[in-house]
Structure 1
Amino acid sequence: MEQALPGRCVFCLAPMPGKHPWCETCFTELPWNLPACPVCAEPQPGAETGRRCGHCLRRPPQFDRARVPLRYEAEMAGLVQRFKFDASPRAGRVLLELLVAGLSPADRRWPEALVPVPLHPRRARERGFDQARWLATRLGRYLGCPSVLAQRTRDTRTQRGLDRGERRSNLRGAFRISAGLPRRVVLVDDVMTTGATLDALAVACRQAGVEEVQAWAVARTPADRH
């Protein structure tokens, strides 16, 4: 993706008359995640709106529902990669605005705290950047609610190349939360692939006494790209 210039659309570089970092045409043509499973937000092309996917019918996740407005493909993939691996603040701001744009007013009022998906300290040192914490901190300022940090207790092997069951096993018991949590929390990440990481973090939240958990991410990876 091209580097955006000030006052120009981050996607096509056209002049921007509005307050957002995109033009209306590019915003409309983004890969919006509709329809999607209302529980885990897995894309469901051709399915009825509001229909649960087969995975959630067989084994519901520990979070109650997910809010993931876009699919991880096309322009979104490039934007996420610039944010995650190049630590681009410009890309991060665009992703944050897109996440907020995909939330309803009721969604925005719902959380009492945000819990970003934590990196293991070794990986955080190596990368020098924690993308989920970056998003959660700024989202919390916008929503007016605090962020609570979880700990990653094990440096799990990469999730790449693992199927859904292997991802769950890899992350079992990988998170701990020692700080007190309110009744309703939102888990925050940049990309949701199978949902295994957010599911494992939701387990830690439930063990810490949380009653209701939602998972929010900017983009969801389609099932055929896991």
Structure 2
Amino acid sequence: MKRSVIAVTCFVLFFLYTSAFADTVLKYNVNGSSNWVPYYLPDSPENPGILGELVPLLLAHANIKIEKHNFPPRRTNYALDNGWLDFDFVSPSWFPNGDLGELFVQSSAIIAIEEHIITLASNAKNWQSSDSLTGQEIGTVGGYLYHNDTEFTRVDFTSEKELIKALYKDRVKAAISGDLPALYWAKQLNCPVTFAALHSKGHLVMRLRKEHAALLPNINAAIAELQSNGTIDRIIDKYTQQAVFDRAE
């Protein structure tokens, strides 16, 4: 009799858990990273960028519903901190000591990512160490996270595209950018830039509010599946093959 009661109790708890799980809808911001080319490509529904394609695919494989929102880019972190959004994609290397904060948990690694100090070739010799940032005015993107931005003065622009324009207008001598966005916009603008010192190196992960931590096993399983079957690599290649070729030249 006791075994029957335990079995029924377990079944009820499992049913309640899976029902709650099925009803969960995670909110994310499509605008917060919309300038982050080629990870997101705004106004391009057929080719929305690496994360533009990967986010709905990943969450569908994890059997989790999602809901798009359009907060202004500078409000994304505030919205995440206050629970208006549930997740985004970041690299722990962008945070002091790799700590995403007590409000969040993180998924397994999804995509390798690097940031460099970028500058014009004529200035590159002055930016061969990350220590060269100290006390300087450095081009950054408003709303983006930089692990050591207390060491320099941020000069915020709206996108990596505007960072490169600022270098050519001599508004800043150096900026910090992810490699692929810098390569993409340097090509589009026909404004070559030089990669100087490495600023950060790591992996993109999903930063998920900790009240949804129970969803991580499904999310991580979906990441592993899309990595093992080559889907993530194919999506990355779709948007980066030309950029990688340009850098090799």
TM-score normalised per structure 1: 0.30
Report the structure, 1 or 2, having the larger helix content: 2
The structure having more radius of gyration, on CA atoms, is 2
- TM-score in terms of structure 2 length: 0.28
Considering Cα pairs closer than 8 Å and 6+ residues apart, tell me whether 1 or 2 has the greater RCO. Answer: 2
Whichever structure has more strand as a proportion of its residues is 2
